[in-house]
Amino acid sequence: MKPFTRHTGIVAPLDRPNVDTDAIIPKQFLKSIKRSGFGPNLFDEWRYLDRGEPGIDNSKRPLNPEFVLNQARYQGASILLARENFGCGSSREHAPWALEDFGFRAIIAPSYADIFYNNCFKNGVLPIVLDAAVVGELFKEIVTHPGYRLTIDLHTQKVSTPSGKEYSFAVDAFRKHCLLNGLDDIGLTLQHVDAIRAYEQQRRVVAPWLFKS
């Protein structure tokens, strides 16, 4: 996993609530058995005018000029600004894989669906929660300022705007640690093998019907 420390980037505004993971990456792309390559199909149904299928050349497909990620001013965006309940629906980790593969390092929204929020951290994407009023303010500023960039500092837990305003955000200490250092948490968990074994032993005594052998 890529560590996340400090990042400055162009912000793309996706102005709708309840963006679900089916919209982020439609199901036909879930047939892949790989972890990478989902970026060209991020928001596929909104981004292109035709129907996407795995394996076709996306560079030849007709783009929907209205969709925000297709507009010239948001090319190279690496921060996504979104509305309430972003990432609701299915548990597919293909959603953060697609966002990451496209080039997004962070998302800013008033709220997220739990599973999606969790999945982001496992993939080096930082989901930031800011107050709905602040998010509303940012949407306005972006529209009036082409090339709008934000700086995100995970160490200090601050988002700063071009005009120098700063917004603090909360992040769980363990997740922050993993993200800052790009740590694989399976390795971390396996440092506690003895605790897991001890738990299993007492569980076998209390609820032996849960174990086959």
Q: Please identify, using beta-carbon distances, which residue of 45 and 149 lies nearer to another protein.
A: 45
| The one among 33, 72, 133, 205 contacting another protein by CB under 8 A | 33
Q: Please identify, using beta-carbon distances, which residue of 181 and 199 lies nearer to another protein.
A: 199
| The one among 8, 64, 67, 115 contacting another protein by CB under 8 A | 115
Q: Please identify, using beta-carbon distances, which residue of 72 and 194 lies nearer to another protein.
A: 194
Q: Which residues, including other chains, have CB under 8 Å from residue 173's CB and lie 6 or more apart?
A: none
Stretch that binds another protein, among 27-35, 69-77, 144-152, 162-170 (CB under 8 A): 27-35
Residues that bind another protein (CB under 8 A): 16-18, 20, 22-23, 26-28, 30-35, 45, 51, 54-55, 83-85, 88-93, 96, 111-115, 118-119, 122-123, 172-174, 185-186, 189-190, 192, 195-196, 199-200, 203, 206-213
